[in-house]
Amino acid sequence: MSKVLAQLLEELGSGRLRVVDLTQPLSPQTPLLPLPPQFNNTPAFKIWELSHYDERGPAWYWNGFETGEHTGTHFDAPIHWVSGKDLPDNSVDRISPRKFIGPACVIDISVEAARDPNYLLTPERIRRWEDEHGRIPVGAWVLLRTDWSKRKDPKDYINATENGPHTPGLTKESSALLAQERDVLGIGVETVGTDAGQAFTFDPPFPNHYLMHGSGKFGLASLCNLDQLPAAGAVVVAAPLKIVGGSGSPLRVFAVTP
């Protein structure tokens, strides 16, 4: 075995490296992104029992399930957005698995988001992070810590009023900087989608989706436990299901961290 892999296993065994689960539980109660009613919305997760060590299957327990690709903690592929529809290898089944692993850069905007639920990450704030922790490397997952996953009541989590949801996100200048100048793998967020709650009113609408996926980058939504990661120094593994032609999928995301 390679020295590095042997050391990885040894440090996981000794606890010097820890695995942090960044995934929310997936159930019929999992909160969903609310789109205006003229659009199709993602279905809630649905699960039904096939057998439970009973006459339907005496020695085994198993379920069937049905889900939207963008339900719960999930991966957004470039084909998800119109700006990425013609890119090569843009669906989950065609993305190289090499791209499912990358270093995590955790930008903590939890204080700003607590003060203003519509707070948007600015390029200045990104550069301030880089002044402290170094330049965001090519192929990084940039994770936006907002502590939004600590909002356990779905009403507080979606935070909608009559004029739509109010949740933090990124300015389009930040998305452009990360996608084009830093060449990141993608953006991960604690909110229900990778754009701010009010991003349907922005120009272009949902600019983070537009710019990231138009540049062949990915998204991770509904993450949690970002407060357990260092600003830099962890590695994220985010491997979506291999749905043929899929635009995304629920997944188990975790980080390996000192």
| Contact (CB, 8 A) for 103 and 256 | no
Residue of 52, 70, 74, 80 marked catalytic: 80
Residue type, 51: S
Of 134-163, which residues contact Mn ion (CB under 5 A)? none
Give min distance, CB of 219 to Mn ion, in A.
6
Distance CA(58)–CA(120), nearest Å, equals: 54
% helix, strand, coil for the chain, step of 5: 30, 30, 45
Pick the closer one to Mn ion by CB: 70 or 172.
Answer: 70
172 lies in the site for Mn ion, by CB under 5 A: no
Least distance in Å: CB of 114 to Mn ion? 24
Pick between residue 41 and residue 63 the one whose CB is nearest to Mn ion: 41
Residues 74-113 that bind Mn ion (CB under 5 A): 76
Question: Tokens 């953006």 appear where?
Answer: 187
Chosen residue from 24, 30, 32, 70 binding Mn ion by CB under 5 A: 70
* Closest distance of CB 209 from Mn ion, Å: 8
Residue with the shortest CB distance to Mn ion = 70
Tokens of 52: 């439970």
- Is 213 annotated as catalytic? no
Q: Least distance in Å: CB of 238 to Mn ion?
A: 13
In the complex with Mn ion, which residue's Cβ is closer, 69 or 108? 69
Q: Which stretch binds Mn ion (CB under 5 A): 59-67, 68-76, 85-93, 150-158?
A: 68-76
In the chain, the DSSP E strands lie at: 18-21, 46-54, 57-66, 74-76, 101-108, 120-121, 141-145, 160-161, 164-165, 169-170, 186-189, 218-221, 232-238, 248-250, 253-257
| Residues binding Mn ion (CB under 5 A) | 70, 76
